[in-house]
Amino acid sequence: MMHHIAPRCTITLHKAPFMSSNLYIPKTCKHCGNAFTARTTVTQYCGNSCAKKAYKARKRKEKIQSTLNADMKQKNEVVEVQNPNAVNNKDFLSVTEASQLIGVSRWTIQRMIQQGRLKAVPFGRKRIVARWQIENLFN
């Protein structure tokens, strides 16, 4: 029994009564690199196993990339929060900014306001402390 093998280097088109592909396109598998004959123009892999392996590799790479992006975003946020230069140029500070400027917790600033050692003015939902009051604490 002999099998008919179509030539590998030619693209042949024959109109058949049923909708089957008569394309024979020589291609290289994008996963393993082996040569194969594709029957459609969009085929990228030599078989189902290579397609599955390539899919898993692609998903693994996407997960790693999303984790790296999340880590970089988190590092950038930490740098912005702990940047003391942003606080140094302001005349009026929130409780959180005042605590960062001095290097104490927010609750210490809240206690100083309640004890009357610092005067804070309500501004919306925040309390604002004048910078000169904090500087007078150390004079």
Q: What is the pLDDT of residues 15-44, one digit of tens each?
A: 555 556 688 999 999 999 999 999 999 999
Angle between helix axes 106-115 and 95-102 (nearest 10 degrees) is 110
Length of the chain: 139
One-letter amino acid identity for 65?
Answer: Q
Q: What is the pLDDT of residues 71-122, one digit of tens each?
A: 888 887 765 555 555 677 788 999 999 898 888 999 999 999 999 999 999 9
pTM (two decimals)? 0.41
Mean pLDDT taken over the chain: 83
Asked if 24 and 6 touch (Cβ cutoff 8 Å), the reply is: yes
Residue 55: strand, helix, or coil: helix
Side-chain-facing half-sphere of 40: CA atoms under 13 Å: 8
CA dist., res. 33 & res. 44, Å (int): 10
- What the block records as the tokens of 33 is 């690199």
- What the block records as the tokens of 122 is 């309500």
CA dist., res. 7 & res. 36, Å (int): 12
